[in-house]
Structure 1
Amino acid sequence: MEDYVVADFKQVGDNELGLFAIFDGHLSHDIPEYLRTHLFENILNEPDFWTEPEKAIRRAYRITDTYILEKAVNLGRGGSTAVTAILINCQKLVVANVGDSRAVICKNGVAKQLSVDHEPSMERKSIENRGGFVSNFPGDVPRVDGQLAVARAFGDKSLKEHLSSEPHVAVETIDDDTEFLILASDGLWKVKTNQEAADAIKNIKDAKAAAKHLADEALNRGSTDDISCVVVRF
């Protein structure tokens, strides 16, 4: 496991923010740990955050990735995927992601994916336009330059010419129909669909117990990848 998790609430002036994230590292503990400590700080320091949160998040992701690349000697040669969710006054949810950790919201019992799984096969053209390639060997998943199984990530200096860190950003309104949000690394999603995950916890009122239940079910289904999970109930 090279995952780091954030689940926190922060008061900023008259505003309450819920800060939730999962950072799934590869070949590195230091980069996901750095993200856990600094990414939200970088986002909230953006002057446009309160007026244009999507723009602020995109810029903070870029700035953070640039810093990680510049400090590769100290932070290591690996990288990390990320899925982040900022809940603003329990009214608006802003989700961003790079990689294959996923955000799923459930409204009226229906699961809706808010993030995008950045798979190399889906971004082959842009990877090749940058001079890279996508391998697809029998028995293996597609990989950027035969190495990385995601097309976007923080860090990964050796692959960065062919790898993007541009996040997908989505904004969701929280209303009376909103039941819960699931953030999880790919170890859950490899063995459960979005709807299966939502159905599995719909009657579990305690968010921590719900997250544990999803992780346990992923293990029971034979998942061998990193399994981290955050559940936010509304």
Structure 2
Amino acid sequence: MSGKEIVHKMMEKVGISSPRGDVGKGKSKMSKHVTHGFHLLEGKSTHPMEDYVFAQFKQVNDKEVGLFAIFDGHLSRDIPEYLRSHLFNNILNEPDFWTATENAIRRAYRITDTMILDKAKDLGKGGSTAVTAILINCQKLVVANVGDSRAVICKNGVAKQLSVDHEPEKERETIENRGGFVTRFPGDVPRVDGQLAVARAFGDKSLKEHLSSEPDVAVEIIDDETEFIVLASDGIWKVMSNQEAVNCIRNIKDAKSAAKALNEEAVSRKSTDDISCVVVRFG
């Protein structure tokens, strides 16, 4: 086995992907019935792959956290990679993470964005969306997001969206109050200042005065009705509804196979964007 293959196997074992066309899986030590799998596919655009995935179970003192995320870059590979390396560390290092988790996540998102803006000279232009999910002791799920990557939970076969799609048209008033504008020119997609098709993101220093990095945060309790959650970039959601995505993989018990099948279904529906997906199954 080559050195590259050994590194890939080690990364897959702990649940961390490399950036291009990869699959991987992992499982909880607290509950053998909770597993995750991920899959990435490079799109047909001319730029290099800009999606990154994080998926890992981690012991923190006497607790276990499942850490899952999709980072979808725009005009940047360095910023989503930076997020993958730093965001969860910032969240877990918040002193009130265990007692006021939602506030800690919001604060860590803001701190991470400030870190990215301070390093703009090194990280370059552009930015990244993010959707993160933290599973605490296999019982409590906390989802946060900026941008249009999405988290969906399936309970008894019914899809429920846990994140918020931050679309410029929906946040036009806020953007205009900050001195920006929303236009469909050029093209037919609403964009902040005619440039960015999401209303919230990390980075994007040139647009930051008109662009928010404040996440929406949601909490969901994992119960006996919970089957799985899906985190995915907009390469899936452009061609599939939440319920269609759930229906596509509900009967696939292996989480890695489910993530791969969902991405391949998006491609069969003519999605040309980079596509990344994490599936977490609950027994």
The answer, yes or no, to whether TM exceeds 0.5 is yes
Matched, 1:83 2:131: yes
Q: What's the RMSD between the two structures over aligned residues?
A: 0.7
Report what 2:35 is aligned to.
Answer: none
Report what 1:131 is aligned to.
Answer: 179
Q: Is the 8 A contact 2:186 2:194 kept in 1?
A: no
- Which deviates more, 129-138 or 48-57? 129-138
Task: Say which of 201, 215, 226 aligns to 1:178.
Answer: 226
Q: Give the distance between the partners of 1:196 and 1:150, measured in 2 at CA.
A: 23
Q: Give the distance between the partners of 1:72 and 1:139, measured in 2 at CA.
A: 28
Q: Give the distance between the partners of 1:53 and 1:226, measured in 2 at CA.
A: 31
Question: What are the ranges of 5 or more consecutive residues in structure 1 without an aligned counterpart?
Answer: none
C-alpha deviation, 1:137, in angstroms: 3.2
Q: Give the distance between the partners of 1:196 and 1:30, measured in 2 at CA.
A: 32
Q: Give the distance between the partners of 1:147 and 1:13, measured in 2 at CA.
A: 44
- The percent of aligned pairs where both chains have the same amino acid is 82
C-alpha deviation, 1:139, in angstroms: 4.5
Task: Say which of 223, 226, 229 aligns to 2:274.
Answer: 226
Q: Give the aligned residue type for 1:23.
A: F
Runs of 4+ in 1 over 3 A off after TM superposition: none
Report what 1:59 is aligned to.
Answer: 107
Question: What are the ranges of 5 or more consecutive residues in structure 2 without an aligned counterpart?
Answer: 1-48
Q: Give the aligned residue type for 1:76.
A: G
User: Where do 1:86-105 residues align within 5 Å?
Assistant: 86-105=134-153
Query: What is the TM-score of this pair, normalised by structure 1?
Result: 0.99
Report what 1:159 is aligned to.
Answer: 207
Question: Matched residue pairs, number?
Answer: 234
3-state SS in 1 of match to 2:275:
coil
3-state SS in 2 of match to 1:137:
coil
3-state SS in 1 of match to 2:273:
coil
Q: Give the distance between the partners of 2:82 and 2:204, measured in 1 at CA.
A: 14
Q: Give the distance between the partners of 2:203 and 2:223, measured in 1 at CA.
A: 36
3-state SS in 2 of match to 1:60:
helix
Q: Give the distance between the partners of 2:246 and 2:185, measured in 1 at CA.
A: 33
Task: Say which of 70, 91, 107 aligns to 1:22.
Answer: 70
| CA offsets 1:151-173 (integer angstroms, 9 cap, x no match) | 00000000000000000000000
